[in-house]
């Protein structure tokens, strides 16, 4: 059974070889075993008391360790300090706020930039949807005008009289209120109102679609981090196995029972796993940054996640297929767009029908002149008129527009069928991936138990020289691959489940 200290001591000695006066002797197995036992005893006695004062006395402890390095016992304290400093990030990480998927979804729905923009755009549809924009309400306008002028007048009347005056003043004033109402326009106002209602509905559906897509992207990003963290843990476990293999290879090489290529291959394999761990840790940083962007918060915000996959109950394929037609935002958007085109055709057809309008005015007119036959003219009072307009010939424009409208409607109907067919195909594929993922998870869980037991047996046999390093290496590779396949299977099943919920329009629920 592997001891954690077998991993810890080589790492600590590797971190600070330049400061270790006994570095050469530490590489001999017997000396290492003695030092390890002594180190463990001292570490148990000093660890708990030192960690409480680490944050405020780290410099002081470092100086003490440097001072104690002068004697044979000093470098152990230095390694204890290195251990505490090395472990500090892990204590800090443990205190990071844990972000659950439910909390992340709730936060994104309130703050995600795309969601907020889509929500604001729904207000545009609400504002535009009224009878005024449909043309059903009357138009009221007021006018006023004031004219001042100076004229030179010369008049000759029919009765033989004449008049002439220079610099006669003119003062005209008129004001009025007009009301115009086209109370019948070939039913255009009703078609326009229904079109505005559909446009408002489209705005709501676009908002729902954006919410669903944002939640899906959030789930994908969240469980991608879960997958990477589990892979990181798996690689760390594999690194422990490779370190034990390297230790055995070093021991066998030192006593002359094994060739150097076995030792070199063990080091190469260990370096490969450590490189893989660096790649995964870097991917975790990128994944958290992407998740923060979806949440519309500072990309550098530190957090931790719940490191597990949760698979829901089995999914009813027939029920989901039916829900696509009634709940999927894309399908509903296609239906609303078709309804808009139908109402647009009715608006065009209204140009072929008569229109009737009612107009009413109340005017006040006052004209005052300093010369001439009429010195004052003042009129005021209401007036009303009823007008009917009948289109007779418009050059066939309306007929052409109706033909174009029919083509647009036909194309939209075809596009709706195409969309439904694509969504059904996507659902079938997602459902297949979901079932495949669930079956693969069960199979890989069973396989991982077998591979893990086989790897333990191989290590014990390798210690007794019953198998070669090649056989042990293959067993460790099989164990690493089994872990990776299990994690990926869980991820595939979870993302497929999210895709199915996205298609059914129930992902937010």
How would residue 368 be classed by pLDDT, with cut points 50, 70 and 90? Answer: confident
Are 293 and 299 spatial neighbours (Cβ–Cβ below 8 Å)? yes
- The per-residue pLDDT for 378 is 86
Total length of the chain: 509
Predicted confidence at residue 137, as pLDDT, reads: 92
User: Following DSSP, what letter does each residue of 94-125 receive, concatenated?
Assistant: HTSPEE-HHHHHHHHHHH-HHHHHHHHHHHHH
pLDDT above 60 (res 384): yes
Q: In whole angstroms, give the CA distance from residue 447 to residue 374.
A: 113
pLDDT of residue 64: 39
Where residue 373 falls among pLDDT bands split at 50, 70, 90? low
Please give the residue range of the domain that contains residue 369.
Answer: 137-184+355-389
* Cα separation, 360 vs 377, whole angstroms: 23
pLDDT tier, 20 (very low <50, low <70, confident <90, very high otherwise): very low
Please check whether residue 64 lies inside any domain of the structure: yes
Instruction: Average the pLDDT over 219-227 and give the result.
Output: 95
**pLDDT tier for residue 301 given thresholds of 50, 70 and 90:** very high
Question: How far is Cα of residue 342 from the mean position of the Cα atoms in its chain?
Answer: 35
Domain contains 433: no
Domain membership flag for residue 419: no
**Number of structural domains in the chain:** 2
pLDDT, position 371:
65
Please indicate, yes or no, whether residues 59 and 3 belong to a single structural domain of this protein: yes
Taking residue 376's Cβ as centre, other Cβ atoms within 10 Å add up to 9
Run of H or E residues at 425: helix 397-463
Query: 458 lies in a domain?
Result: no
Among positive and negative, which fits the CA dihedral 80, 82, 83, 89? Answer: positive
Q: Are 72 and 10 members of one domain?
A: yes
Percent over 90 (pLDDT), the chain: 54
Residue 428 belongs to a domain: no
| pLDDT tens-digit series, residues 303-332 | 999 888 877 667 888 889 999 999 999 999
Q: Find the mean pLDDT for residues 231-257.
A: 89
In a domain, 240, yes or no: no
Q: What confidence category does residue 46 fall into, taking pLDDT thresholds of 50, 70 and 90?
A: very low
Residue 147 lies in a domain: yes
Three-state DSSP state, 454 = helix
Written as one string, the DSSP assignment of 376-408 is: EEEEEEEEEEEEEE-----TTHHHHHHHHHHHH
Contact criterion met (CB below 8 Å) for 338 and 409: yes
In terms of domains, do 7 and 61 share one?
yes
Q: Could you tell me if 141 and 89 lie in one domain?
A: no
If asked whether residues 82 and 163 sit together in one domain, one would say: no
Domain for residue 21, yes or no? yes
Query: Using one digit for the tens of pLDDT, what is the confidence trace for 147-190?
Result: 888 877 777 777 777 777 777 788 889 999 999 999 898 899 99
pLDDT band (50, 70, 90) for residue 32: very low
How many other CB atoms are found less than 10 A from the CB of residue 460? 12
Q: Rounded to an integer, what distance in angstroms lies between the CA atom of residue 254 and that of residue 442?
A: 44
> Considering the chain, what is the average pLDDT of its residues?
81
* Contact of 263 with 247, CB cutoff 8 Å: no
Lowest mean pLDDT among 9-23, 224-238, 309-323, 370-384: 9-23
Confidence of residue 276 (pLDDT cuts 50, 70, 90): very high
52 DSSP assignment: T
Based on the fold, state whether residues 13 and 63 are members of the same structural domain: yes
């Amino acid at each position: 059974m592997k001891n954690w200290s077998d991993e810890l001591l080589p790492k600590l000695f590797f971190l600070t070889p330049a400061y270790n006066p006994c570095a050469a002797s530490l590489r001999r197995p017997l000396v290492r075993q003695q030092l390890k036992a002594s180190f463990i005893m001292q570490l148990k006695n000093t660890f708990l008391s030192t960690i409480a004062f680490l944050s405020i006395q780290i410099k002081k402890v470092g100086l003490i360790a440097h001072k104690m390095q002068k004697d044979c016992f000093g470098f152990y304290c230095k390694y204890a300090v290195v251990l505490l400093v090395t472990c500090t990030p892990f204590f800090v990480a443990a205190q990071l706020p844990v972000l659950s998927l439910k909390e992340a979804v709730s936060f994104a729905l309130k703050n995600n930039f795309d969601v907020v923009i889509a929500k604001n755009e729904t207000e545009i549809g609400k504002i535009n949807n009224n009878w005024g924009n449909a043309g059903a309400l009357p138009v009221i306008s007021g006018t006023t005008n004031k004219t001042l002028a100076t004229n030179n007048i010369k008049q000759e009347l029919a009765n033989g009289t004449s008049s002439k005056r220079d610099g006669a003043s003119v003062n005209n004033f008129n004001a009025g209120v007009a009301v115009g109402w086209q109370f019948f326009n070939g039913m255009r106002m009703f078609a326009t109102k229904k079109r505005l209602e559909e446009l408002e509905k489209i705005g709501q559906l676009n908002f729902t679609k954006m919410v669903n897509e944002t939640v899906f992207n959030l789930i994908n990003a969240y469980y991608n981090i879960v997958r990477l963290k589990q892979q990181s843990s798996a690689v760390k476990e594999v690194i422990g196995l490779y370190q034990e293999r390297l230790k055995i290879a070093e021991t066998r090489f030192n006593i002359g029972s094994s060739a150097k290529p076995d030792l070199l291959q063990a080091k190469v394999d260990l370096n490969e796993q450590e490189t893989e761990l660096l790649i995964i840790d870097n991917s975790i940083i990128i994944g958290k940054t992407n998740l923060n962007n979806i949440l519309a918060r500072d990309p550098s915000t530190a957090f931790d996640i719940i490191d597990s996959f949760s698979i829901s109950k089995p999914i009813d394929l027939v029920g989901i297929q039916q829900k696509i037609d009634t709940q999927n935002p894309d399908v509903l958007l296609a239906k609303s767009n078709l309804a808009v085109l139908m109402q647009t055709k009715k608006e065009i057809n209204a140009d072929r029908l008569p229109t009737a309008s009612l107009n009413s005015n109340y005017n006040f007119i006052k004209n005052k002149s300093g010369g001439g036959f009429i010195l004052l003219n003042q009129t005021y009072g209401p007036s009303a008129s009823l007008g009917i307009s009948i289109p007779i010939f418009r050059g066939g424009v309306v007929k052409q527009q109706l033909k174009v409208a029919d083509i647009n409607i036909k194309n939209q109907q075809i596009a709706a069928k195409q969309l439904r067919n694509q969504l059904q195909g996507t659902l079938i594929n997602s459902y297949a991936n979901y079932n495949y993922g669930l079956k693969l998870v069960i199979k890989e869980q069973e396989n991982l138990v077998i591979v893990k037991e086989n790897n333990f047996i191989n290590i014990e046999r390798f210690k007794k020289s019953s198998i070669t390093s090649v056989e042990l290496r293959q067993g460790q590779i099989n164990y690493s691959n089994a872990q990776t396949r299990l994690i990926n299977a869980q991820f595939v099943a979870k993302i497929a489940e999210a895709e199915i919920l996205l298609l059914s329009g129930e992902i937010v629920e």
